[in-house]
Amino acid sequence: MRSFRFQPIGTIRSCFTEKFGIPRQPGLVPEARAALEIGPPFDKAEAFRGLDAFSHLWLIFVFHACQGHAWKATVRPPRLGGNRRMGVFASRSGFRPNPIGQSVAKLLGIERRKGILRLRLGGIDLLDGTPVLDIKPYLPYADAIPEATAGYAPEAPAAMPVVFAAQAEAVCRNADPAAYPDLKVLIAGLLAQDPRPAYKQGHEGKPFGMRLWDLNIRFRVSSDRIVVESIGRI
């Protein structure tokens, strides 16, 4: 078999400092933002000429936190409650023969800060430190297929109601918006996706912790809602 070597063109800097809690697909939480920092020699302005006129991008990236795991022919998609197996090629799991992912992201801006070329992105599903192999503009006429069908994942999962206890509410209100932008909306949007590993399988009342930047978000899930109990530093 032939093999190929690819060099990442850049690295994702996102609020997601651990895998747990990251949306399972892009676009589900618009406030989940990231910067894609482009590394040399790819950070030439002309390599991005014309890109700012596109609202959305495809990112081709490496599931770097899945590396070193042997791939299996079947996986357990969270959409099926984690108890049914589907073929790895019928899934978007990161545990695949070549751990390559693809996500559509909203392009919020292109800027150079302290000499580093950065693409500001919204609605991402990417871990901090994700190596990006390529960027391509999203083409609605070719990429959006309104009549497409989607097997076991026909539409976005229903959102869970999320409520905040007083301490969590106060931390969000007082958080520095430069360091933790849209913190409350972000947490509410992420938890509404019900990040539990195999959701709807018990776990009721069990405490969970989700990490965002250097914050530990503690929450509990009851049958009909998620309660954010406290937010603290790690």
* Contact positions vs ligand SAH (CB under 6 A): 19, 22, 24-26, 63-66, 92, 94, 101-103, 125-127, 130
Tokens representing 11 are 């690295």
Cα angle, residue 83 at apex, residues 79 and 88 outer, rounded to 5°:
65
Q: Which amino acid is at 121?
A: L
Q: How far is the CB of 64 from ligand SAH (least distance, A)?
A: 5
Using the minimum distance from each CB to ligand SAH, give the nearer residue, 61 or 164. 61
Least distance to ligand SAH from the beta carbon of 112, Å?
25
CB 59 to ligand SAH: min, Å = 9
Q: How far is the CB of 24 from ligand SAH (least distance, A)?
A: 5
Cβ-based neighbours of 187, under 8 Å, separated by 6 or more: 162, 164, 168, 172, 212, 217, 228, 231
Strand order in the sheet with 226-233: 162-164, 226-233, 215-221, 207-212
* Min separation Cβ 47 and ligand SAH, Å: 23
Whether residue 132 contacts residue 147, with contact meaning beta carbons closer than 8 Å, is answered with no
Residue 64 vs 220, nearer CB to ligand SAH: 64
- At 52, list the tokens: 């700012």
- Give the separation between CA 23 and CA 103, rounded to whole angstroms: 11
| Strands 162-164 and 74-75, sheet pairing | unpaired
Q: How far is the CB of 30 from ligand SAH (least distance, A)?
A: 15
The percent of the chain in helix, strand and coil, each rounded to the nearest 5, is 15, 30, 50
* Nearest CB to ligand SAH, comparing residues 63 and 219: 63
Q: Are 9 and 159 in contact (CB under 8 A)?
A: no
Radius of gyration of the chain (CA): 19
Identity of the residue, 171 or 187, whose beta carbon is nearer to ligand SAH in the bound complex: 187
CB 118 within 8 A of CB 35: yes
Q: How far is the CB of 169 from ligand SAH (least distance, A)?
A: 26
Between 60 and 108, CB nearer to ligand SAH: 60
